[in-house]
Amino acid sequence: MKQAVLVNLGGIEKPTDIPVFLFSMFNDKHIMPLKQPFRAMVAFIITLLRAKKTYNILKLSPSPLVRITKRQAEKLSIKTNKHITYGFSYSKPYFNDCEGTFIVMQNFYSHTTHGKVLELKRTKPPLCIHKGFFELFESRINNALKNHPNAAILLSAHSLPLKLLKKTNDPYRNDLEVFRLALSRILKKPIYLSFQSRLGPIEWLKPETEKEIKRLSKHYTELIILPVSFTTDNTETIVEIDRAYTKIAKDCGFRWIKRVNCFNDDGDFIEFLASIL
């Protein structure tokens, strides 16, 4: 078999990564569907406006995403005895420069992530279509519930602008909702879904994670949050969920809060990846 390539978003580990990451992201037609040269001009302005906020996030913690993606590739390589490499959309090494079969390391299809890779490379179907993926979530939720059977279970997904979803008929929200319902039926428990990390003045997916936490605090005293759209921990999980949302949850009365880690390089996840290669 040709080599496999794990594709992730990109890493912001140090301040000098910020302008490259932000400009590449906002100059991407899948994120900002404008004609050139307007797209590049808008991307430049947003990069200037957002850089300070991203810098403040980075001061709290550099992103572990690149480090973990490397480990995932190494462990999968050992497990399968195949050559596994990795590439990113918005930082080096870029996935465009790699060859092989591509696995997109975001759990659910969106034109902004999976679709972008699919346009250029032979790509495996999204992880969420596999039974094994479902079981990974099921086992993590059951573990978290062990001593806290009455906790609220909140799946927090990365948000997307509504206008972008409509324009591209993006199945992202729908697939997440189907997944939430299926999990809820199997676990015989209510499961909630919310959206995090919106930015700018336009409308993004709802309910927002912050508001959903506040709403749930009226009915529950314990909370389990699972980042549902990433395979790999990153600034959105270790800064936004572990710091910002955890503080909000405490402030609105939750007595116990657990954030479940992304799959990262867990043995069962590596086994799952090996099974779909």
DSSP annotation of 259: E
**Do the beta carbons of residue 33 and residue 167 sit within 8 Å?**
yes
Tell me which residue of 36, 2, 43 sits closest to 20, measured CA to CA: 43
CB of 148 to ligand L6N33NVT, least distance (A): 27
Is 88 or 220 the residue whose CB approaches ligand L6N33NVT more closely? 88
**Do the beta carbons of residue 172 and residue 109 sit within 8 Å?**
yes
**Do the beta carbons of residue 103 and residue 124 sit within 8 Å?**
yes
CB of 54 to ligand L6N33NVT, least distance (A): 4
Tell me which residue of 14, 46, 227, 29 sits closest to 140, measured CA to CA: 227
The two tokens of residue 141 are 């939720």
Residues found near ligand L6N33NVT in the complex (CB under 6 A): 9, 11-12, 22, 25, 31, 50, 53-54, 57, 63, 65, 106, 110, 112-113, 158, 160-161, 164, 199, 229-230, 234-236
Is 121 or 158 the residue whose CB approaches ligand L6N33NVT more closely? 158
CB of 83 to ligand L6N33NVT, least distance (A): 25
CB of 63 to ligand L6N33NVT, least distance (A): 3
In this structure, how many other beta carbons lie within 10 angstroms of the beta carbon of residue 63?
A: 26
Is 116 or 121 the residue whose CB approaches ligand L6N33NVT more closely? 116
Is 27 or 110 the residue whose CB approaches ligand L6N33NVT more closely? 110
Cα 9–Cα 95–Cα 205 angle in degrees, nearest 5: 30
* 194, β-bridge pairs: 156
Is 54 or 156 the residue whose CB approaches ligand L6N33NVT more closely? 54
* Sign of CA pseudo-dihedral 12, 18, 24, 27: positive
101 conformational bin, left if phi > 0, alpha if psi -120 to 50, beta if neither: beta
CB of 36 to ligand L6N33NVT, least distance (A): 18
CB of 75 to ligand L6N33NVT, least distance (A): 20
Question: Rounded distance, CA 182 to CA 171, Å?
Answer: 16
CB of 53 to ligand L6N33NVT, least distance (A): 5
Is 204 or 254 the residue whose CB approaches ligand L6N33NVT more closely? 204
* Sign of CA pseudo-dihedral 221, 226, 227, 232: positive
Is 53 or 92 the residue whose CB approaches ligand L6N33NVT more closely? 53
